[in-house]
Every structure is written in structure tokens, then in C-alpha cells.
Structure 1
Amino acid sequence: MMKTNKVLSVVSALAIVLAGCGTNHSNNTASPSAKQSEGSATQPEASSSQPAKETPQETLDPVELTYYFPGSPQKDLQTVEDALNKLVQPKINATVRLKLIDWGAYEEKMKVMMGSGDPYDLAWTAAGTNNYFQNVANGAYAPLDELIDQYAPDTKNGIPDMFWDAVRVKGKVYGVPVFQQSTAGYGYIIQKAVADKYNLDWKSVTKLSDLTPFLETVKKNEPNLIPWEYSQGGDPFLTAPPMFGLETLGDAKTPGDLYLNDGGKVINQYETPEFKEYITMMRDWFSKGYMRKDAATLKETSADRKAGKNALQIGQIDIDTLAFEQAGMEASGRMSQFNKDNHSYDLQFVKPLLTTDKAAATITAISANSPNKERAMMLLNLLNTDKEIYNTIVWGVEGKHYTKVAENRIETNPDGGYQTFAPWEFGNMKLSYLFEGDPKGGEVDNKFTNMWVDLNENATPSNALGFVFDFTPVKTEKANVDAVIDELYFALASGSIDPDKYLPQFLDKLKRAGSDTIIAEKQKQLDTWIAEKK
């Protein structure tokens, strides 16, 4: 699940992303590889509570690990940090300092830290936010293969091979992927109360433009609601390329995508008729008041989600309301992940697909400047194998931040001071307790977890699953193109400016920044990758 998840869950959950999604659960599927069965739902759930390398705690010098990750500010973060350290310190003689940075500031904060060479140990990253592949090209992260083999073989075996393939750059792993709900099915989410009140045929939607009459109904009749949620972390074209028949190569923003029905030719997604149609529709929606006036600069929407102010939003939806009903589970919808009283209908109209960017949608890296790389990997192993440690960083302290209502289900405390709603951000999500945002009955026989794990391992693979673009040859062009995108993209994609006037300017600036050079390099690397597969 991503920020997005996320996206919706990721867009929905994060990010808000992702993210959001992303979020948020993102919150993003292929047939299993030869070793994939090691991490399948039919295998025993990871449960080891010791580092893979049996090193007596008393032989390890004490160290302090700094761990950066994004999220909404949490009043009771210190309590969670203290509880986490009571579990971690006896196992690996390390104290963890949780550095939670607001979503809106996270990417810039990490850019500054990496640029200045400031030491830290672990950081959340992704194919999109805090761009993992670009950071690898810039030398920000440590290569991890030997550390994983020595200190985290259980973690390696608990994550399907296709997820590891998605984070390799030039054959090396620089981050541990979070095994989460990564299958990239897409659709939309609508408040159940709104759909029921106006008798909206929410099941009939097959594309984004079908939502226009729903948004108009909300605009006319519900002045306290925002008809359509939009933020930089929840832009449909970036978070849901398959919704437009496209697949991301490298990262979602950089020019150079594939059409899903043509896995061999790299194109500039911003020159496609699909993009022009999208921004034209968004201009219409923005002009009619379906979005916040500050949509172009809005980085995340967690406050609006918690307040139940968004009537409709995009969704990264691997399992929708109808699928849960068919499986005998009752789901309150992704909106309830932020506000348990705000139920939603979630409808998928783009079938699940596993793409490289979604398999790499949420990753934990170790800094190249970390003085404690071995201990950092030990901590990552615990987050991937120890259920108590994992759920402490995700959900907090039992009795204060949540109440256990069943063996594997909790109810969160909205007044407890710690509600990240981000099980997709840490470790292995198979370890997560279910909460009020997950389907009722899903905890029985681990039904819900087994359902999404199976979907991740058996859904349709993209044409370029496993292809990882190496940005190194075009680092300068990438930086220049990113500057152009930051300048104009979100204003265009939110409908805040006239596409007839500004799209030509956007495309011209991209070309002058080096977009054609990037696309040519992507084509070259893709051709090589395809040839090597034959």
C-alpha cells in the first residue's frame, strides 16, 4: 500500500501518494519467479525475533541509529520511540531515533541532508517521492547485498524476488523493498454517504471522465465538501499511469514512458493525446470549482481526509468493495483509513498490474555515510521479521494508541497521539495488525493478508517488470528536467492554468532541458535489457 497505494491507499493513504497515496496503503503483479514461493501466503509468516546473524548482544558496542521517514506530525512520537527501543536494544544493542518529517517537507529535507553529506543511518525512499533511483545514481545510498546476506537472510527470503529485482541498479541492491499491497489496480473512491444520498450509480464508472456528473452533484448540493481531492502527491497522471494506458520507466515524472500495449518504444508521456485530454478535463474541473483553489501547490491532504472533506478521489485499488463482498468480507473503504466514521465505496476500473515503479513504491535505504551500516541492517531485519517491533513503529503502544480487539485486529485511538496509518512504510506488511480501515472478517484465518499477498504474486506483469533505469548518464538532464516539471507540471495537471497556452511552453522547456536525451538513453537501456532477456 502507498502513499498513495496511493494509490489510493497510497494516494488515499499518504499522500498522500501516497500520499500518497498513498497513499496511501498503497496508499502498487506478476507470476512468481523461481524463488518467489518463499514469500508466498502459503508459507509460514515471518516471525523471527533475532537478527539473522546470531551475534550476542553483549559483544556489540552500543550505537545510536537515526531513522528518517515521512508522515503527518505525531504528538506522541517519543512514547513510541521509547517503546521501540525497549524491544530493539536488548536484541541488537542499538537505540533508534525516529526522525518523522512532514510529507510536504520530506523530499527537500533529504535532498539537503544528502547534498551536504550529513550522516544518518536509515531513510524511507521510493521510486517517486525522494527518488530512490536518482539518489542511487548520486551515490547517496550504500550497496546492501553483502549486508543482507550476512544480517538479514530471513528478510531476503520473505520478500518475493520480483521486488528485489525492482530495486537493483546495475545488479546491486541499494534498498530493502517493503513487501506490501503493490499491485497497481486503479479506480476511484467516493464517500458512501454521498453516493447513497444522491443515488449515484457508482458501480458504472469506467474512466475518470465518467465522474464529472458526480462532481457536479456534490458541487451543487454539498458546499462543505470538496468534490475532487487533488494534491501533488495524488496527481492521477503521475500516480496511476496505467489509467492512461502508460507504464513508468525510472520514475513517474521523468519523460520517457511505455504504452502498455507496446513494451518496446519509449515515448514522451507529456506529448501524448492522453495527457492533453487529461489536463483539458482537469482545467474544466478546476474552472467549475471541483477542487481546492490551491490544488497546484498542495503537497498532501491528510487534514482534509481526517475531516472527511473530500467527496471523491483517485484510488490505487488492488481489491475493491465488490471484490471484498464476493470474498465474504465487509469493507468500510479506504476513506475510513483516515476517519473511521467516513465510509467509502472503492471501485477498480483498471485491473491490477505489477510494474517496477510500484514494486519499488516504498523502500528503506541505508545512507552511504552511515557509520553503523551493519547495525542498521540488523534493525531492518527486525522490522521485517519481528511482529512486535514492526507493529510498534506502525501502530504505537497497545492500550494507549490502539486497542486489540482480536488476535490480529486492532482499533486505533484517534486521541492517543500516534496515528500514522502507514503499515506500507516499514518492514514487511504481512506482519501488520488489521485495523478499522481493513475489511471485517479479514483477520479470520489471515484471509485478507493472504488475499493481497496472492494478488501481488500472481497478477499480470508489465512488459518492463524488472527493468530499472540507470540515471547516471543523464544526471544533468534529469536535474534540469525536474526543475521544469516543478515549475509548470502541477499547475497544468491541476487545471490551474490554461493548457492551450501553457502546454506548448512546458513541452518546449522540457526539450531545452534535455528530455529528448533522457528518452534516448531510456530507449538504449531498454533495448539492451530486452536483448539480454532473449
Structure 2
Amino acid sequence: MRTKKGIAAILSIIMLVGLLAACSGKTENNAPSASPDGAAAPEASTKLDPVTLKIMIPGDRPRDFDAVVAEAEKRMAGTLNVKLDVVFVPWADLAQKTQVTLSSGENIDLIFDAPWLHITQQIAAGSYAPLDDLLQQYGPNILKNRPQAMWDANKFDGKIMGIPNGITFVQGRVYYVRKDIREQLGIAPIQTYDDLMKFAYAVKEKVPNMTPMIPAGQDVTKGLSEASFRHYWKDNTANITPSPALSESLVLYTKNNDGKVYNLFDEMEPMVWSWIENSRKLYQDKIIHPDVLAIKDTGELAKQGKAAIIPNNDFGVKNDVQQALKSVDPNAEFEAVTLMNLDKGAVLTNALQYNFISVPAVSKNKERAIQFLDWANQKENYDLLAYGVEGKNWEAVGDDQYKFLNDGYTWFPFAWIWNPATDRQDAGQDDVTKQLNQWGADVNNFTLDKLAGFTFNNTAVVNEISQYTSIEAKYYTAMFNGVVEPNEYWAKFKAEAAPLAKKIQNELQKQIDAFLAAK
């Protein structure tokens, strides 16, 4: 999920999504130690030969990015001697662009990937270099900034194939809701999904030129589609969750933490079908935007004041979204509404992170790439790359919070450097959001999934997955946003995709059984 930012879909979601900081430096750290003679960067008296690192990450290039890069290069000039060639890829183009880049063998040194994108496929294809030895020698800060539970859960076949970027053991999930409009309509704070729908229908009736709800309509962010997003909420008592093989799709799923893989083509899950039918009603009632499938970035419409509700992969409201909205209407304001079950142990976690930065196997600068990331994992350098130029783009609030001064440098550390040790909380967020971030950062608040630490090796079904995902793209997001008649389209979807899904399911179950037997 794009998580985060602009997850203009993803997102981050997811994802994601996106993503807000937990309390900095509060996570117990038992991460693998770097070798005693290893060094993240050369000694100050040593100047390495100049190298330009090409880095590919998602999103839009911030307006002040060049100034930030200039400052970073200035700081590295006496030692690492690195220049940064950072390529930003729009979210809607991310899957295709990164796929083509990796398959073509184009020289690139660092690239964003994720379980909801194609990291497992790319690992199986040999696109990424293993990082265990490189991190031991060149990445002490990278290692120590992430707790042991995070490293353990984010290896692939026992190897570190990407650096996990995240600060939480459960991704925050919220709806952005126009608080000012809710209050104008005399509607109480939203506590349930029914409350949310009451607000959406009131917006349709009483607020002209405002779309009540805009879920994500792009396939790459299908986890943020209306029906799919509902599986995060407290009424999902069976913990129905996308499977490790298709991480944003509910067609193959797990439930009840029983180690089994279920298939909607074999038997439709009643709760999932109720979500699909509800999304159809919302679309027909003009609650969901009529052109939802054509919208590449729901966040942009939210910033323009054109949406009353959008889903997002993070607790709280992003500062850049709030500021942009207020530039359109000073009285406008988003609030974040989560319907997650916050009871201790109610939510399962596999501790899997939603965002990774990997080193392509073709890179000629693998060591320097890890040295650069280690440099970026040092507090003052992290502050620069995460928030921009201090005093111009942001200001510190204590040691673990920040305040953005403008929208010149939007938030995207999840794409390359995010970690719980150096991250700051947004000082402008309310106390509830800060508490939720702290809740998500404590693994003891959750029940550990039986599949924590399991990674799916898709080599045996890589062709089936490729074919399946192409078919799913034609149906899933349209159905889960209510754009098409569900019975008819489900039948078509099943006819085309069921045999492929069954092969993927069988291979996944075989690997899960072996994993559980070996525990």
C-alpha cells in the first residue's frame, strides 16, 4: 500500500500506503550487530573517488528537492564523495516503470520495492543483491536503527534482500474526513462505519460540488479500494487478510490465524461479498466518485477540497495535505478516523514492512550505496533527507518531533530511509494520533501471526502470478469500488482467473506447511 504519501494511491498503500512516525528511539534494539572492523563511511581524512548513485523512488519530486540534494552532497564531499541522481516515478506508473528498469538491466544503484509491488518476484528473478554481508561491513547505523523483530520478519529465504523501511508493526489505516463539513452538518464525531456512511449521504444531500467519497481506483493501490479497505476494521473478527502470495488482493486470503490459505473462487466469503455489494450500492447512489477508476491521485483531489472522505494508509492527517487544503479554504480541515480494533491482542501482525529499498544486482556501486544509506541513517542526515533544510522547510520541536514550515519538501522517508530510531513525530498532530503511532510501534500490542517470518518463494508459479495479476487488474478494482455489477463480473473474473489462482494457492499452501512444520 502505498502507504504513504501520495499514495495517490499507495499506498503507501499503502501502502502503507503512508506513514507517520512513532516515538523516536523507544524501540528495543537487538538488531544484528555490524562487524567490529566494519565502517559505514570512510574516516574523515579519507576521500573516496567520486560516484553518482542513481536512485529510483515513487512519488513526485518536491519543489525544494534540489536544495536538499545540494546540502547532502556538500556534507558528503569530504568523505563519501557521492552525488545523487534521484528519479521520482509517479505512483500510477510505478509498477511498470520499475519492472522495465529491472528487467532491462538498466544500471541503477538503489530502488524502492514492496510486498504489494513486486519485491518477491524480483528476488526470484535475481534482480536484487543480498545485503547481509554489505550491511555487516558498511551499515552499522542501518542495522541498529531497526529492532530485531523487524529484521527477523523481513528476510527472504533467510536473507536480507531489501532494507525494511517502517516504524510500526501494524500499518495505520484511516479515513480522512472533512471535519469542518461534519460539524456544519451537525454530525457527531465518527465512531463506526455506519457513522461514516451517515456523513457521506449527508454530504451528497447538502453539500453541492463535493464528492462524498473517493477511494483509490488504480490497480496498484487496490488495497485502498472501498470494499478491500474494510478488512482493516474491527468488524473483521476473523482477521481476513490478503495472502503472502498476492499481498493486496483478497482473492487468496488467510483467516483465524490457522495457517491455511483460502480462495474466494472456491467459496465466497460472506463478509467479503457484503463489502463488495455495499460498494456497488455506494457507487450507484453517487457516494463514490463516478470516475473513480480514472483518478490517479486521490490525495490531490483531497488537497483541492473536492473530497469529503478518502482512505489513507497512516494514522493522522499528513501535514502537506492539511496545508494544501487550507490554502484553498482556510476554514477547511481534515480529521483522521480509524475503525481498527485497538484492543490488546485483537490485531494480528506478521511484522512485515510495506516499504523496502533494495540494491539491484546490476549496480556497480553496491558498497557505496549501502554507505550512503548508512550515512542517511544518522540523525542529522536523516533530518535533512526526511524533512528538508532546517529553518527553511521545517523546524525541530524537541528531539523527536518536527513542524513543517511550508510545502516545499513533502514527506517521503518511507521510500528510502524510514526507521524508528531517527524518525520524528509531526508536532502538529493531535495527541490521539501520537498515541496511535506509539501503539503501532509496540509489538506487544498485537498477536503474532503464525506466518511471521514466512516469505513466499514464487519461482514455481511466477508465470501464473504474472498472468493472474494481469487478469485481476481488469476486474478487482472495478468490483471493489462498485463500478460494475458484481455477480456478472465475478463470474467473468472467476472463469478467467480461477485455474491460475488455484495453482498459486496450492504452491503457497505447500510452502506454508513446510514453514510451520519446521518451526
1:84 is displaced (CA, Å) by 1.8
**Secondary structure of the equivalent of 1:292?**
coil
The letter of the residue matching 1:296 is L
TM-score by structure 1 length? Answer: 0.82
Closer, same or farther in 2 for the Cα pair 1:455/1:197, shift >3 Å?
A: farther
1:495-516 deviations in Å (ceiling 9; x for gaps): 111112111111121124x110
How far apart are the structure 2 equivalents of 1:472 and 1:239?
29
Closer, same or farther in 2 for the Cα pair 1:336/1:61, shift >3 Å?
A: closer
1:2-55 deviations in Å (ceiling 9; x for gaps): 633xxxxx3x753432243455533799xxxxxxxxx7536799xx9x983463
Closer, same or farther in 2 for the Cα pair 1:240/1:381, shift >3 Å?
A: farther
**Secondary structure of the equivalent of 1:293?**
coil
How far apart are the structure 1 equivalents of 2:421 and 2:21?
15
Decide which of 466, 483, 487 is 2:474's aligned counterpart: 487
1:60-75 equivalence runs, <5 A: 60-75=48-63
1:154-197 deviations in Å (ceiling 9; x for gaps): 32232122322333222111000013234145453422212222
1:335 is displaced (CA, Å) by 5.5
Decide which of 254, 260, 263 is 2:255's aligned counterpart: 260
How far apart are the structure 2 equivalents of 1:256 and 1:469?
16
How far apart are the structure 1 equivalents of 2:43 and 2:12?
40
1:474-531 deviations in Å (ceiling 9; x for gaps): 000000001001122111111111112111111121124x110000011101111111
1:207-252 deviations in Å (ceiling 9; x for gaps): x455322211011112232211211322255556444431233242
Paired residue for 1:128?
A: 116
How many residue pairs match? The answer is 489
1:274-285 equivalence runs, <5 A: 274-285=271-282
Paired residue for 1:305?
A: 302
Q: Which has the higher helix share?
A: 1
Q: Residues 166 and 353 of structure 2 are in contact (CA less than 8 Å); yes or no, is this contact kept in structure 1?
A: no
1:319-356 deviations in Å (ceiling 9; x for gaps): xxxxxxxxxxxxxx426551144231423333473534
The letter of the residue matching 1:79 is A
1:48-76 deviations in Å (ceiling 9; x for gaps): 9x983463363532211111111124233
How far apart are the structure 1 equivalents of 2:441 and 2:359?
29
1:262 is displaced (CA, Å) by 4.2
How far apart are the structure 2 equivalents of 1:378 and 1:439?
36
Asked if 1:377 is matched to 2:373, the reply is no
How far apart are the structure 2 equivalents of 1:375 and 1:156?
16
**Secondary structure of the equivalent of 1:180?**
coil
Closer, same or farther in 2 for the Cα pair 1:476/1:188, shift >3 Å?
A: same
TM-score by structure 2 length? Answer: 0.84
Q: Which of the pair has the greater relative contact order for Cα pairs under 8 Å at 6+ separation?
A: 2
> Structure 1 stretches of 5 or more lacking a match?
5-9, 30-38, 319-332
RMSD: 3.2
1:347-378 deviations in Å (ceiling 9; x for gaps): 3333473534x622011111111100011111
1:24-423 equivalence runs, <5 A: 24-26=17-19, 40-41=26-27, 52-53=39-40, 55-56=42-43, 58=46, 60-129=48-117, 131-184=118-171, 186-205=173-192, 208=193, 211-231=196-216, 232=218, 233=221, 234-236=224-226, 238=228, 241-243=231-233, 244=236, 245-250=239-244, 251-253=246-248, 257-269=252-264, 271-316=268-313, 333-334=316-317, 336-340=319-323, 341=326, 342-351=333-342, 353=347, 355-356=349-350, 359-384=352-377, 386-404=378-396, 406-414=398-406, 417-419=408-410, 421-423=411-413
**Secondary structure of the equivalent of 2:77?**
helix
The letter of the residue matching 1:372 is N
**Secondary structure of the equivalent of 2:129?**
coil
The letter of the residue matching 2:322 is N
The letter of the residue matching 1:346 is V
**After the TM superposition, which of the residue ranges 227-236 and 143-152 deviates more from structure 2?**
227-236
Q: Residues 51 and 382 of structure 1 are in contact (CA less than 8 Å); yes or no, is this contact kept in structure 2?
A: no
1:133-152 deviations in Å (ceiling 9; x for gaps): 12111211111111111111
- Report sequence identity in percent: 25
> Structure 2 stretches of 5 or more lacking a match?
327-332
**Secondary structure of the equivalent of 2:508?**
helix
